[in-house]
């Protein structure tokens, strides 16, 4: 929601405060292995349905209506005399948001500093689904400890345009990678008796005019690109809730969109949980009620203070039902879905609910692990990295090196229990052995260009040091409390272009000229135009926003105590003009509509098919060791295939490789992308160790959505199986006719 619209009033959320402050200091060790995936509720879905029906029979119309719209900034009403509590939600998606109590301003002096996990795109860069589960478990556990029932995450919108201000919260341009990562995340959250809320459904791929832009795309693009992540979150992850997005889809607002919610989500996919509207995304009582939304959340509708009963799914609904103008079953169905979520999370039903934990050592370790596996080594010429014991002095340069990011970006803000910046991480790791200087290099301020005095200072420091490390890139709003048009990676606004802000091009070029042993570390939610200097740069790292232990993980990677294994989940184009949303499609559209003429050609599907060279390709990421691939076997089955190959660590350092499998159909009836990711496996190998990897592809891996027949189809014929270390570093090729 837009902060500027929010009234300033808040009530202390006393219920959770006392419980929570005791937890805030605890440091119990909790390992990933302790988390259990099994369904927590002791009841079957049939039993839950019967219990819900009995409860609903005991409720008045007013009580039911109270449950289907917000009654404070993040809660909806319960029915106390029936033992039904309020449903308490919170953002999400990489930590539990700062506390707002019942209002819209942050509570002062509330002990809400918690675990700040790496952002979504960093999690996806690990290509490690078990870390998705670990991540979700931490989030669910902390949410539970803070008294929350629903965590508003994961965010899984497709990264269509490099400029989307919220790309940092999302995961990838590729539906397959998202589908694999999201399942663990959802199961992890829900293993802690907290509901995940997968968002923003659907086609919310830009922040520009997000409140009203009408997205038009082909059915094929919808089915092949924009929906699979959501489907996996619901069907494979079992997400209990889903958030309807702000934008319109084919003329109807997403949070009240019959096709998306009733037809696809509920009928086709069999979703049993509750659809929660994005905050203020319901625009009409009748469409809200009839088209599939179950809970209307919102901001202030321009009233101060807010009268929540005036929400579209508030008093009006009770009046319509009582006067016979709306059937009561419509309300009952929504209440039943909300009660279902409550039973599944053991909020009601009598089973013991997990208590959750806050700021444990285990949570911090998970944050570090995700950062370590999510940071991507993009370039490493002349093996400039890792830095060895010969390096006696380092000039750390750049505002981002010493900048905390946790409170940036909008609704995903987290007050971190602590946040290790890159500079701090480096000092802690090697400060006793290496002489470390720090200069700012550039200023973060509105329209700030190069600052010659800061550049001169950085150049002088770089000349004196063995190695210069510049930490720059994008940043969140330059004042933590500001998330408006001045911010880059932020909700509610897109980036104006892909150019490096704050005169960083000039800084990097000057420092590289002064010291050829320069490593550039980029933070941010996605690509930046680095064409002015990247060809000269020897060492380049993409660090995203790596969470509270990001500085520790980065320092370990720089100095060789950790071996990088992250891979890009999104293509880095050379320039903005190369991006398919801009080249083929429309972005950001006109004042009413954005046409996705780019269709299925999102990310590498475009770059590969249209033969455009990216700056760094999808799936790219280097290691300090080397991996060889050998002995590919493809065994075709009945419209399936089993692909087996060996990966060996031939270097001298232990490391992990993400082996990727792409499929290409040789002869096409309908145009298809050059190749598509259909399998991957991350293997951890000691020096000299080899592992045989088996990837099984079912019929879905070979199908496409035929717009003409409106069906998933497979054209029999020859398929190529491309196995490699990235989408453009294919090491083995096999063939099979299916
Ligand atoms: C955002 C959601 C968020 C909600 C509640 C909205 O503005 O789009 O992602 O969960 O606010 O803070």
Specify burial of residue 733 (Cβ count, 10 A radius: 0-12, 13-18, 19+): middle
Shared-domain flag, residues 299 and 241 = yes
377 lines ligand 1 (CB under 6 A): no
Which atom of ligand 1 is found nearest the CA of 155? Answer: 9
151 lines ligand 1 (CB under 6 A): no
Tell me how far the alpha carbon of residue 244 lies from the centroid of ligand 1, in angstroms: 10
The closest residue, in CA terms, to atom 12 on ligand 1 is 411
Shared-domain flag, residues 608 and 656 = no
Q: At what angle do helices 45-57 and 328-344 cross, to 10 degrees?
A: 130
pLDDT-flagged residues of the chain (< 50): 1-38, 480, 483-485
**Strand runs labelled E in 245-353:** 248-249, 252-253, 274-277
Q: What pTM does this model have?
A: 0.94
Distances (CA, A) of 189 to 124, 197, 211: 16, 10, 28
Pocket test of ligand 1: the residue of 98, 246, 279, 491 to mutate, having most ligand atoms within 8 Å of its CB, is: 279
Shared-domain flag, residues 658 and 604 = no
Q: Residue 432: which of 317, 313, 555, 519 has the closest Cα? A: 555
CATH number at residue 553: 3.40.50.1700
Alpha-carbon distance of 514 to 466, in angstroms, equals 11
599 lines ligand 1 (CB under 6 A): no
Shared-domain flag, residues 564 and 631 = no
Tell whether 353 is covered by a domain. Answer: no
228: Cα separation from own chain's centroid = 15
Shared-domain flag, residues 151 and 251 = yes
Shared-domain flag, residues 447 and 340 = no
199 lines ligand 1 (CB under 6 A): yes
Shared-domain flag, residues 560 and 582 = no
Tell whether 264 is covered by a domain. Answer: yes
Which atom of ligand 1 is found nearest the CA of 210? Answer: 8
Which atom of ligand 1 is found nearest the CA of 200? Answer: 9
> Around Cβ 352, how many Cβ atoms within 10 Å?
9
Shared-domain flag, residues 206 and 235 = yes
1 lines ligand 1 (CB under 6 A): yes
Shared-domain flag, residues 618 and 565 = no
Alpha-carbon distance of 696 to 204, in angstroms, equals 32
Shared-domain flag, residues 561 and 581 = no
Task: Give the number of domains in the chain.
Answer: 4
Helices (H) and strands (E) in the chain, counts: 18, 25
Shared-domain flag, residues 466 and 411 = yes
Q: Residue 364: which of 424, 430, 417, 415 has the closest Cα? A: 417
Shared-domain flag, residues 678 and 613 = no
Specify burial of residue 233 (Cβ count, 10 A radius: 0-12, 13-18, 19+): buried
The closest residue, in CA terms, to atom 2 on ligand 1 is 278
Specify burial of residue 41 (Cβ count, 10 A radius: 0-12, 13-18, 19+): middle
CATH number at residue 656: 2.60.40.10
- Parent domain of 615: 571-624
242 lines ligand 1 (CB under 6 A): no
Tell me how far the alpha carbon of residue 411 lies from the centroid of ligand 1, in angstroms: 6
Tell me how far the alpha carbon of residue 143 lies from the centroid of ligand 1, in angstroms: 16
Alpha-carbon distance of 304 to 306, in angstroms, equals 5
CATH number at residue 79: 3.20.20.300
719 lines ligand 1 (CB under 6 A): no
Alpha-carbon distance of 445 to 466, in angstroms, equals 30
Question: Which residues does the annotation mark as catalytic?
Answer: 278
Tell whether 88 is covered by a domain. Answer: yes
Tell whether 197 is covered by a domain. Answer: yes
The closest residue, in CA terms, to atom 7 on ligand 1 is 1
Q: Which of 553, 569, 585 is the last residue of a domain?
A: 569
91 lines ligand 1 (CB under 6 A): yes
Tell whether 131 is covered by a domain. Answer: yes
Tell me how far the alpha carbon of residue 246 lies from the centroid of ligand 1, in angstroms: 9
Q: Which of 523, 552, 569 is the last residue of a domain?
A: 569
Tell whether 395 is covered by a domain. Answer: yes
Tell whether 355 is covered by a domain. Answer: no
The closest residue, in CA terms, to atom 3 on ligand 1 is 411
The closest residue, in CA terms, to atom 6 on ligand 1 is 1
Alpha-carbon distance of 395 to 410, in angstroms, equals 32
Pair of tokens at residue 295? 């809970």
Pocket test of ligand 1: the residue of 152, 165, 209, 253 to mutate, having most ligand atoms within 8 Å of its CB, is: 152
Tell whether 354 is covered by a domain. Answer: no
């Amino acid at each position: 929601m837009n902060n500027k619209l929010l009234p300033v009033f808040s009530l202390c959320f006393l219920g959770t405060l006392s419980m929570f402050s005791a937890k805030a200091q605890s440091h119990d060790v909790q390992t990933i292995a302790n988390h259990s995936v099994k369904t927590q509720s002791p009841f079957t879905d049939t039993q839950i349905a019967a219990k819900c029906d009995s409860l609903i029979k005991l409720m008045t119309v007013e009580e039911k209506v109270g449950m289907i719209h917000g009654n404070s900034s993040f809660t909806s009403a319960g029915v106390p005399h029936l033992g039904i509590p309020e449903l308490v939600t919170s953002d999400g998606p990489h930590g539990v948001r700062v506390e707002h109590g019942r209002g819209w301003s942050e509570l002062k002096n509330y002990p809400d500093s918690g675990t700040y996990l790496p952002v979504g795109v960093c999690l996806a860069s690990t290509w490690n689904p078990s870390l998705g589960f670990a991540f979700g478990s931490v989030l669910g556990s902390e949410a539970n400890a803070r008294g929350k029932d629903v965590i508003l995450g994961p965010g899984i919108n497709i990264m269509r345009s490099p400029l989307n201000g919220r790309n940092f919260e999302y995961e990838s341009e590729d539906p397959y990678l998202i589908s694999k990562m999201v399942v663990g995340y959802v199961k992890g959250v829900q293993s802690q008796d907290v509901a995940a809320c997968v968002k923003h459904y659907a086609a919310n791929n830009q922040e520009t005019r997000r409140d009203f832009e009408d997205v038009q795309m082909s059915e094929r693009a919808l089915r092949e690109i924009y929906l699979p992540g959501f489907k996996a979150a619901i069907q494979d992850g079992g997400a209990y809730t889903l958030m309807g997005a702000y934008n319109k889809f084919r003329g109807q607002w997403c949070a009240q969109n019959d096709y998306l919610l009733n037809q696809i989500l509920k009928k086709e996919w069999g979703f049993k949980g509750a659809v929660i509207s994005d905050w203020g995304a319901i625009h009409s009582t009748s469409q809200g009620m009839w088209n599939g939304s179950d809970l209307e959340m919102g901001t202030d509708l321009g009233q101060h203070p807010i009268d929540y009963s005036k929400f579209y799914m508030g008093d009006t609904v009770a009046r319509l039902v009582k006067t016979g103008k709306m059937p009561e079953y419509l309300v009952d169905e929504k209440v039943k879905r909300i009660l279902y979520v409550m039973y599944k999370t053991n909020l009601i039903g009598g089973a013991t609910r997990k208590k959750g934990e806050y700021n444990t050592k285990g949570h911090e370790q998970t944050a570090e692990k995700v950062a370590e596996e999510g940071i991507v080594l993009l370039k490493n010429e002349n093996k400039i990295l890792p830095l060895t014991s010969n390096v006696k002095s380092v000039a750390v340069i750049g505002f981002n090196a010493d900048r905390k990011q946790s409170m940036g970006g909008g609704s995903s803000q987290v007050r971190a229990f602590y946040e290790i910046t890159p500079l701090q991480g480096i000092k802690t790791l090697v400060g006793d052995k290496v002489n470390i200087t720090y200069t700012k290099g550039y200023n973060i301020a509105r329209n700030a260009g190069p600052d010659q005095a800061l550049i001169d200072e950085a150049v002088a420091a770089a000349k004196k040091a063995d190695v210069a490390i510049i930490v720059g890139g994008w940043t969140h709003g330059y004042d933590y409390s500001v998330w408006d048009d001045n911010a880059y990676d932020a909700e509610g606004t897109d980036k104006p272009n892909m150019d490096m802000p704050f005169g960083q091009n000039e800084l990097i070029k000057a420092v590289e000229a002064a010291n050829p042993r320069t490593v550039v570390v980029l933070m941010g939610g996605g690509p930046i135009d680095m064409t002015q200097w990247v060809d000269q740069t020897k060492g380049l790292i993409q660090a995203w926003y790596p969470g509270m232990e990001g500085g520790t993980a980065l320092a370990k990677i720089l100095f060789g105590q950790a071996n990088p294994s992250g891979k890009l989940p999104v293509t880095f184009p050379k320039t903005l003009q190369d991006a398919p949303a801009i080249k083929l499609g429309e972005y950001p559209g006109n004042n009413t509509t954005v046409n996705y003429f780019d269709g299925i050609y999102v990310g590498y599907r475009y770059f590969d098919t249209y033969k455009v060279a990216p700056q760094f390709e999808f799936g790219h990421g280097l290691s300090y060791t080397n991996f060889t691939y050998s002995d590919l076997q493809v065994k075709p089955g009945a419209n399936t295939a089993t692909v087996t190959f060996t990966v060996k660590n031939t270097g001298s350092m232990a490391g992990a490789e993400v082996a990727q499998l792409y499929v290409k159909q040789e002869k096409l009836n309908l145009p298809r992308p050059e190749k598509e990711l259909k399998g991957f496996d991350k293997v951890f190998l000691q020096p000299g160790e080899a592992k045989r990897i088996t990837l099984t592809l079912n019929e879905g891996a070979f199908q496409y959505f035929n717009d003409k027949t409106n069906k998933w189809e497979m054209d029999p014929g020859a398929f190529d199986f491309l196995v490699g270390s990235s989408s453009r570093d294919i090491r083995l090729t096999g063939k099979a006719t299916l």
